[in-house]
Structure 1
C-alpha cells in the first residue's frame, strides 16, 4: 500500500509568484500530480489575488485551493509563538475572524474559486473558533499535528513537515527534515504532509532535501479534501 502524501504550497500572492512557479515545476518534475495551494486574498492589504487571475487558472490544473487567512498579517507575539511566525498569526491575533473570512471569500468568489478548506496562517487559531469555519461551510482545516474534518467532527493524525525561515528554527528544520520524514513514513501515521513556502525556493539545501526525499519514491499524492472523504 502506497504512503499517502499531501504537499502544499503556502502563501500564494503576486509577489511570491516566481518562487511558487519554481517550486511547482520541481514538484511536477518529481511526479507530484496533486498540489494544495494556500491562497492569501489580500496579502498585507497590498496585493489582491484579482491581480493574478490568469496564474491561478494555471494552478487549477491538478491543484486544490485553500483559503489561507485574509491578509496574513498580524501584530507580533511573545514567547514560543514568536518562533513560528514573524507577526503573521492573523487568525489567532485578531478577534474579527468572521469579517476576515467574509472578505477573503468575496475575493475568491470573484475568481470563481470556492474553497472547501481553510488553513490559518502559521497554523495558529483557537480551536473554539473552528465552529465559525463550519458555519461558513468549510469541510476541513488543519494544524501542525492534525487534519480536521469539520463536518464530521473528526481528526486525522498527520504531522506536517516544514522548514523554518529564521535563525535556529531554520537550522534545526533542515537538519531534522529527512529523519523526521522517514520516522513518519514507518510510523502508524496514515498521511504525511509537507508544507513548502516561497522562501524555501531561495535555499539550495532545502531544495536538495525535497528532491532526495521524493525522487524515485512511490507515493499516493493526495489533496486534503480527498483525505476526509
Structure 2
C-alpha cells in the first residue's frame, strides 16, 4: 500500500505574495520541488484581484508548469452572512461557502474557476472551500460544476459520485491569537504521531503561519515525523 503525504498552501493571492514564497520554499526543502498544492483565491477579501495582477498570474503559471496543483479556493474567502457563532469564533468571518445557496455558489465557482484557469493555462485540480466549510447547497454546486476533487477538514472526495478518497483530519496551524497558536501546536504535536497509521495524511499551511516562528518550527517537525515511509504525493494520485 502506498503511503502518502499531501501538503497545501492556502489563501494564495497577490495579497500574500511574500508569505506564499516563504511557504513554497519551505515545502520544497522538505518535499522536493513542487510536490504540493496551492489554493488560489481570485480576489481575497475584495482587496487583491488576481485578474488584474499579470505578474502574479505569471508566477502561478510557472508554479503550475513545474507541477504544483492549483485548486480554486472560494471567490473572495470572506463570509458575507450575518455574523454568528461559527463566523465569529471559528472562522473569523472567512467561511465564504458555509451559507451560500445553490445559485450563488455556482456563480462564484464559475467566476473563480475562469480567473484561475486563465492565469494558469490549464484546468484547476479541484475546489476546496475557505475554512473547509460548505453549505449543503454549495456541496451540490461543486458537484454540478464538475470539479474533479474536493476537500473538507476530515476527507478528500470526488464530487461526481461522492467517493471518499482519503480520510483523517488535516494538520494545520492557527496564528490569529496566542490561544489558537497554543492549541494548534498541541494538536500538531499529537498528530505527528497519532495520524501515523493513516495511509494518507494532509498538512495545510497559511500565510499567517510565516509570522510565528513556533508555527514554522512545528511544521518542520511535523513533516520530519510524517515523511519517513511516505511519498510526497499529489491530490490527483488519489483519483
Could you state the TM-score of these two structures normalised by the residue count of structure 1?
0.90
The partner residue of 1:106 within 100, 114, 132 is: 114
Alpha-carbon separation, structure 1, partners of 2:95 and 2:216: 26
The partner residue of 1:166 within 148, 153, 176 is: 176
The partner residue of 2:201 within 181, 185, 192 is: 192
Alpha-carbon separation, structure 1, partners of 2:162 and 2:100: 25
Aligned to 1:40: 41
Aligned to 1:207: 216
Aligned to 1:94: 100
> Over residues 45-89 of structure 1, what are the superposed CA-to-partner deviations in whole Å (9 max), with x where a residue is unaligned?
221223111210232112000000001112354224533311111
Alpha-carbon separation, structure 1, partners of 2:83 and 2:122: 32
Aligned to 1:64: 69
Alpha-carbon separation, structure 1, partners of 2:63 and 2:189: 28
Alpha-carbon separation, structure 2, partners of 1:110 and 1:2: 34
Q: Please, which runs of 5 or more residues in structure 2 have no aligned partner?
A: none
Alpha-carbon separation, structure 2, partners of 1:15 and 1:170: 22
Query: Larger deviation: 88-97 or 70-79?
Result: 70-79
8 Å contact 2:15–2:47 — kept in the other structure? no
* DSSP-derived class of the 1:139 partner: coil
Query: Larger deviation: 77-86 or 103-112?
Result: 77-86
More strand by share: 1
Alpha-carbon spacing, 1:128–1:97, altered in 2? closer, same or farther (3 Å): closer
Q: Please, which runs of 5 or more residues in structure 1 have no aligned partner?
A: none
* DSSP-derived class of the 1:72 partner: coil
Where do residues 1-229 of structure 1 align in structure 2 (5 Å cutoff)?
3-33=3-33, 34-50=35-51, 51=53, 52-60=56-64, 61-75=66-80, 77-95=83-101, 96-111=104-119, 112-155=121-164, 156-167=166-177, 168-186=179-197, 189-215=198-224, 217-218=227-228, 219-227=230-238, 229=239
Q: 1:202 Cα shift? A: 1.1
Could you state the TM-score of these two structures normalised by the residue count of structure 2?
0.87
- For these two proteins, the number of residue pairs brought into alignment is 226
Query: Larger deviation: 158-167 or 13-22?
Result: 158-167
> Over residues 117-139 of structure 1, what are the superposed CA-to-partner deviations in whole Å (9 max), with x where a residue is unaligned?
10000011024532211221101
Alpha-carbon spacing, 1:205–1:172, altered in 2? closer, same or farther (3 Å): same
> Over residues 127-161 of structure 1, what are the superposed CA-to-partner deviations in whole Å (9 max), with x where a residue is unaligned?
45322112211011111111111123211313101
More helix by share: 2
Alpha-carbon spacing, 1:94–1:128, altered in 2? closer, same or farther (3 Å): closer
